[in-house]
Amino acid sequence: MVEYSYSPTGEGFQLPSQEDYLKEFGRVEEMVNDQRNLKREIVVVMGLGFVGAVMAAVVADAQDGKGNPIKFVIGMQRPSSRSFWKIPLINRGLSPISTEDPEVALIIDRCVKEKRTLAATFTYDALKFADVVIIDVQCDYLKESLGNVRNGQAEMKALEESFEIVASHISPNTLVLIETTVAPGTTEQIAYPIMRKVFRKRGINTDPLLAHSFERVMPGKNYVASIRDFWRVCSGVNEEARRRVVKFLNEVINTKEFPLTVLDRPIESETAKIVENSFRATILAFLDEWSRFAEQNGVDLIKVINSIKVRPTHSNMIFPGPGIGGYCLPKDGGLGVWAYRHIHGFEDDIFKITTAAIDINDTRALHVAQLTRDALRNMGRPIASAEILVLGASYREDVGDTRYSGSELIVRRLTEMGAEIRVHDPYVLHWWEFEKQDEYPASSHSLKRFFRGQERLKDLRVEQSLETALHRIDAVILAVRHKHYLNLDPDEVVKSSGGPIAVIDCFGILDDERIRRYFELGCEVKGLGRGHVKRIKDHVQEARERMLLKMSGETVKGAETAFKKANL
């Protein structure tokens, strides 16, 4: 049976057959021979995901002092039906990633079409040519319950497979740079023994040259710069691996302006990544309880945070929105907790803060469903069968990455409560967490399993026209700070929806003026951490009552006399 892989725009690409592999190897070999004649080092990037695709382009763009390209990069991606389409797309000079950073498309186009320093392939045999291999495949952490990160495990299958595949193909002198965020201990205690064993089987008596240097990529407006022009930490399993990784990173990353930190051992570089992300997850989780406090006590947490952030010591405080999401923050602390027991063999329970932070972040979005329920109830509309529009599917503003987004949890909980859900996101064409909820992110690991009544969500499609999405809804949830949602005009929104609606602000998107206008238009407004909306509502209500009084002179005169009498 012929199998296809579909790109996000719906273009189908036939998965390669056995004969295709031989042809593909010939194509790669020819390119490599040409590039070797040009004295370029051959770099294979394994895994063309959010990190690998752009890292591959950054390396392919590297040049010497005279402006000559110094590397030829082969992006290697396994031909799965989910990911194979990335290969033909890159080979056309097109970015497989939808992002706000225009440099992503430009750098891929330039390296593929002009410089001819970047190509993509599906054959593992490309590894035979590598001077350097960069591993950018995923390492997941699978949670067994919602809101309890301790109950889970590192999913290392793809990564362990990659170590074996790499070791069976490379030459003994190839530098293998692991960029994947891994459980601390992985490079030395998992990758090294796997690769060494394969080397020995191949009759290679030297040890694999393994290094670790984690990515700090931020898929947003500065996507490329966050890889190329940013500080890096690295380490190697031995002196030679360390020397090689430092040399390589100095050649491809802007280490002049963003100096490298070289640590003694890979476990330190691996731990640096986990601690860095756990720290961030913790400061975000910290505001969850203050967000609740604000909602219950008439406080606008957004203004409070802004007033604190003027202190330089507190400038990295950020409002958490409906959960944190993204691929890294929800899982990285879990990898550390898991490694403590399952790689290093400790039994005691030392983790308190990292685990609490992840659990809080993982469930924060559920509160949005409660706010929506309450706002609709105030308007006399039951949540069951209400039409609710969620604005934004991705986990952060101006990117098309939906992994572990707070919006997914909002949709799942509201569906469980009987609501009809619509979604709009200008960056997301397919929300695979729903469309393929039985197999994505892994079979039996969809968040679906924590909620009831989720079957119909596989038919959820992301609406691209905001106007159409708004038509005849009962509530709108501003779930992501996409630039498209920051300046929505309340009058236009209410006109498009055909009447007053409930508006739920998850990210401090609405200023007081807009909140006031929604109330004037008969809407109900609620927001995470935005306790002051009630005050605005009361003002609007009072103003409305005053207006009504004014409308009848008689009534006003009567009222004045009454006020005087009452000494008011």
Ligand X SMILES: NC(=O)c1ccc[n+]([C@@H]2O[C@H](COP(=O)([O-])OP(=O)(O)OC[C@H]3O[C@@H](n4cnc5c(N)ncnc54)[C@H](O)[C@@H]3O)[C@@H](O)[C@H]2O)c1
Q: Is 270 an interacting residue with respect to ligand X (CB under 6 A)?
A: no
Contact window for ligand X (CB under 6 A) among 75-83, 230-238, 240-248, 467-475? 75-83
Contact window for ligand X (CB under 6 A) among 160-168, 237-245, 425-433, 540-548? 160-168
Among 118, 139, 281, 376, binds ligand X (CB under 6 A): 139
77/282 with CB nearer ligand X: 77
Residue 476 pairs in a beta bridge with 389, 503
Contact window for ligand X (CB under 6 A) among 103-111, 136-144, 339-347, 376-384? 136-144
The C-alpha atoms of residue 370 and residue 376 are separated, in whole angstroms, by: 10
Q: In angstroms, give the least distance from the CB of 247 to ligand X.
A: 22
In single-letter form, the type of residue at position 493 comes to: V
Widest CA span in the chain: 104
261/307 with CB nearer ligand X: 261
Around 50, how many Cα atoms within 13 Å sit in the side-chain half-sphere? 21
Strand duo 140-143 + 152-155: pairing: antiparallel
Q: Is 232 an interacting residue with respect to ligand X (CB under 6 A)?
A: no
Q: Is 219 an interacting residue with respect to ligand X (CB under 6 A)?
A: yes
Q: Is 235 an interacting residue with respect to ligand X (CB under 6 A)?
A: no
Q: Is 421 an interacting residue with respect to ligand X (CB under 6 A)?
A: no
In single-letter form, the type of residue at position 386 comes to: A
Count of residues engaged in binding ligand X, rule: CB under 6 A: 27
Contact window for ligand X (CB under 6 A) among 135-143, 281-289, 481-489, 527-535? 135-143
The pair of three-digit structure tokens given for residue 292, joined into one six-digit string: 């609740």
526 in helix, strand or coil?
strand
Q: Is 81 an interacting residue with respect to ligand X (CB under 6 A)?
A: no
> Residue of minimal CB distance from ligand X?
49
The C-alpha atoms of residue 390 and residue 342 are separated, in whole angstroms, by: 40
Q: In angstroms, give the least distance from the CB of 300 to ligand X.
A: 31
Q: Are 468 and 441 in contact (CB under 8 A)?
A: no
Contact window for ligand X (CB under 6 A) among 212-220, 236-244, 310-318, 413-421? 212-220
Number of C-beta neighbours around residue 186 at 10 A: 26
Which of 215, 217, 195, 218 is closest to 207 using CA atoms? Answer: 195
The pair of three-digit structure tokens given for residue 33, joined into one six-digit string: 């021979």
78/367 with CB nearer ligand X: 78
Measured CA distances, 115 to 101, 110, 370 (Å)? 21, 6, 54
**H or E element: which one contains 325?**
none
Q: Are 214 and 179 in contact (CB under 8 A)?
A: yes
Q: In angstroms, give the least distance from the CB of 82 to ligand X.
A: 7
Contact window for ligand X (CB under 6 A) among 161-169, 308-316, 341-349, 358-366? 161-169
The pair of three-digit structure tokens given for residue 364, joined into one six-digit string: 């924060």
Among 5, 121, 174, 181, binds ligand X (CB under 6 A): 181
The C-alpha atoms of residue 227 and residue 190 are separated, in whole angstroms, by: 26
Q: In angstroms, give the least distance from the CB of 56 to ligand X.
A: 11
The C-alpha atoms of residue 30 and residue 37 are separated, in whole angstroms, by: 11
Q: Is 428 an interacting residue with respect to ligand X (CB under 6 A)?
A: no
Contact window for ligand X (CB under 6 A) among 5-13, 65-73, 156-164, 407-415? 156-164
Among 215, 288, 397, 524, binds ligand X (CB under 6 A): 215
Q: Is 217 an interacting residue with respect to ligand X (CB under 6 A)?
A: yes
> At a CB cut-off of 8 Å and minimum separation 6, what does 138 contact?
47, 49, 158, 159, 180, 327
DSSP per residue over 351-370, as a string? -SHHHHHHHHHHHTTHHHHH
Angle subtended at Cα 503 by Cα 502 and Cα 509, rounded to the nearest 5 degrees: 175
Q: In angstroms, give the least distance from the CB of 225 to ligand X.
A: 14
Among 158, 204, 429, 559, binds ligand X (CB under 6 A): 158
The pattern of x and - marking residues 21 through 50 that bind ligand X according to CB under 6 A reads: -------------------------xxxxx
**Binding region for ligand X (CB under 6 A):** 46-52, 76-78, 80, 83, 136-139, 158, 161-162, 165, 180-181, 215, 217, 219, 327-328
